[in-house]
Amino acid sequence: PFFGSVLRRADCVRRCEEPRLGAASRHRAAEEVRADFQRRVPYSYLQRAYIQLNKLEEAANAAHTFFMANPEHMEIQQDIENYKTTAGKVTLIDREAKQHMEDYSAGVRHYDKEEYKLAVEFLERALKGYYSEDEDCQIMCEGPQRFEEHEYLEYKAGLYEAIADHYMQVLACKHDCVRELATRSGRISPIENFLPLHYDYLQFAYYRVGDYVKALECAKSYLLFHPDDEDVLENAAYYEGLLEGVMDPDTIKPRKEAKTLLQRHKLESHLLQVAAAGLGYAYTEPNYWNRYGARQDEHSVPSSISSEPEDGPRLSLAKKPMPKPDRELKEGGPLLYSDVQFVYNSQQLNGTQRVLLDNVISEEQCRELHRVASGIMLAGDGYRGKTSPHTPNERFEGATVLKALKYGYEGRVPLKSARLFYDISEKARRIVESYFMLNSTLYFSYTHLVCRTALSGQQERRNDLSHPIHADNCLLDPEANECWKEPPAYTFRDYSALLYMNADFEGGEFIFTEMDAKTVTASIKPKCGRMISFSSGGENPHGVKAVTKGQRCAVALWFTLDPLYRELERIQADEVIAMLDQEHLGPSEMDINPKDEL
């Protein structure tokens, strides 16, 4: 009976597919095609096609749709800014937006504005969409699978092994639908605690609109996922107290769909672990309901509800704990050098782990560095030769420490000046390590002497930035108010610093913003010897305003606490310096081609 059922089902699926979808070659895409669609590559082509047809609004939407899945793509980001300039006010539409995600984000926005009735409407719609998407995701997992553990041509499994192998692939896919539905387009990491958060927001929103039955129902639904959450346990008890005398609170049960999904999820987990133990699979159960993803009430809420008597039940509305940083954050340590002048700390710069210093280098050292820069910099250095990687209105040039030392040794620039670049970057590293009171060594991750030059004839009506708002070790997602610490971001970077060399240009202010990439929290005008340093994470989004006249130069420094990610060119530069410090060093002893080990 079992195999008869399987054969009938296969026959039915095949007979349904061809009349409705055509031959398999038309709807069963190759892995490469699937990957391109996952990355939204077709929208990059669509954008260019729409430009040729002079359909700017459609081109802008195609560019925006591509950018949402590829936020590190600077050229597309610049294209979008250009559309805004050319077409005026453009309402950008993500044509591949997940509707349940859009509804969830809208619900949270209304919740934050204390518009609880609208919050309920959108969050309920998001839940309905979520369960519908979950059903689709489960069905799609029953499609073709790749046997990741086996070479297909050498696959010698018997009947039951083959069935088990394929079923485990399907089951793992279905089990991961929870992660898939919680992940925004273009992201790798899901929104933590995504499904339970719907119920957490709803339980309080329903309370605020006076629907205590629904509030208790949602609180109990949330507790299915986190039965020991003290805040929600207190809230549920409070709602039960409000309903006493009106109805029996025990008759109010968690939502059926939440209970069903969780039961299925636990069973999937059990089967996968059984398979791992019995069939030799490598499987580790992820934490799908991480409670660090918690509702954060930004508005001020009293410790008790004012309409309740003083001795009545209290509603616990405290903020839930966020993940603790992997190190204790400190600042205010010694600056080590008597000539370095403290200007502003984090509080004065309206942020976290920020410091502004002056006189880190002298006027003479600035001039000497500038002379070195003019002799060693290459257009597009560090950006695969792209002369205008961030904006078409400026030329970007750069050089590394090792390149400076190589040019110095060859006599193309003064060796003393090349050595200065090395020495002042080490001085900056020591200051940052000391000021932020780090308990472990701070290593160079990348050191870059950079200049941005305004291009003549291209500065009128500019509304772009010299360097778009970003964070240094995560992918900034302003719409989600998140910064995703995942590739292609340089996730190993811990601290950053910019040491400025001149002030004889217009524009070019360094700015910090909120995570929305719009609200400026601090603006710094560069000048010789001034250094801004800060932690590299999502707490410090930053960018550079347009350089509209002249050339702006700085030493850009990124640091890491992980010795595995030390800058290779810096290690080579250290060896070069050690050799230069030896007496009677002959040219034959010095082989420092910067490409040798890269």
Cα dihedral: 61, 63, 64, 69 (round 10)? 130
Q: Are residues 92 and 104 in the same domain?
A: no
Residue 319 lies in a domain: no
Q: How far apart are CA 402 and CA 54, in angstroms?
A: 47
Tokens in use for 544?
A: 């550079």
pLDDT in tens, the chain (598 residues): 989 998 998 888 888 877 887 777 777 777 788 888 888 899 999 999 998 998 888 998 999 898 888 776 767 777 777 777 776 666 788 898 889 999 999 999 999 889 999 999 999 999 999 999 999 999 888 877 665 555 555 666 788 888 888 888 899 889 999 988 998 876 777 888 899 999 999 999 999 999 999 999 999 999 999 999 888 999 999 999 999 888 898 999 999 999 999 999 999 999 988 888 887 777 778 777 766 545 544 332 322 333 343 333 334 443 333 334 456 788 999 999 999 999 999 999 999 999 999 999 999 999 999 888 888 887 767 666 666 666 778 888 888 999 988 888 888 888 888 899 999 999 999 999 999 999 889 999 999 999 999 988 877 777 788 888 999 999 888 877 788 888 778 999 999 999 999 999 999 999 999 988 888 999 999 999 999 999 999 999 999 999 999 999 999 999 999 998 999 889 888 888 888 777 444 443 334 344 443 3
* 359 located within any domain: yes
Closest of 146, 107, 151 to residue 125, by C-alpha:
107
Chain centre distance of CA 137: 25
**272 plus 348 within the same structural domain:** no
72 part of a folded domain: yes
206 membership: H or E segment, kind and range: helix 194-208
Strands 465-470 and 505-507 come out as: unpaired
Are residues 237 and 352 located together in one domain of the fold? no
CA angle 43, 46, 50 (to 5 degrees): 140
Q: Are residues 228 and 350 in the same domain?
A: no
Residue 301 falls inside a structural domain: no
DSSP tag of 478:
T
Q: Which residues are catalytic?
A: 552
**Is 111 a member of any domain?**
yes
Instruction: Tell me, yes or no, whether 394 and 536 share the same domain.
Output: yes
Q: Among 388, 363, 383, which residue's Cα sits nearest to residue 501? A: 363
Task: Say how far apart CA 407 and CA 419 lie, in whole Å.
Answer: 11
- Global pTM reads 0.63
The count of domains in the chain is 3
Rounded CA separation 215/237 (Å) = 11
- Which pLDDT value is given to residue 216? 95
Asked if omega into 488 is within 30° of 0 (cis), the reply is yes
Please check whether residues 212 and 105 belong to one and the same domain: yes
DSSP state of 251: G
Question: Does residue 177 sit within a domain?
Answer: yes
Q: Residue 355 region, left (φ>0) first, then alpha (ψ -120 to 50), else beta?
A: beta
Note the pLDDT of residue 311.
39
Question: Is 417 in the same domain as 441?
Answer: yes
Amino acid at 385: G
What pLDDT is recorded for position 154? Answer: 62
Q: Are residues 468 and 448 in the same domain?
A: yes
- Which is nearest to 531 in space by CA: 555, 505, 564, 495? 555
Task: Identify the pLDDT of residue 486.
Answer: 81
Q: CA–CA separation, 395 vs 388, rounded Å?
A: 5
> Domain range holding 557?
342-579
Are 529 and 471 members of one domain? yes
Tell me, yes or no, whether 172 and 72 share the same domain. no
Determine, yes or no, domain membership for 91: yes
Residue 388 makes CB contacts below 8 A (sequence gap 6+) with 394, 395, 396, 455
- Structural contact between residues 317 and 204, judged by C-beta atoms closer than 8 angstroms: yes
DSSP tally for the chain: helices H, then strands E? 18, 15
Q: Same domain, yes or no, for 271 and 362?
A: no
| pLDDT value at residue 185 | 73
What residues does 477 pair with on adjacent strands?
Answer: 482
Say if 297 falls within a structural domain.
no
113 and 51 assigned to the same domain: no
- The whole-number pLDDT of residue 147 equals 58
User: What CATH number should be reported for the domain holding residue 467?
Assistant: 2.60.120.620
Q: ∠453-455-461 over CA atoms, to 5°?
A: 115
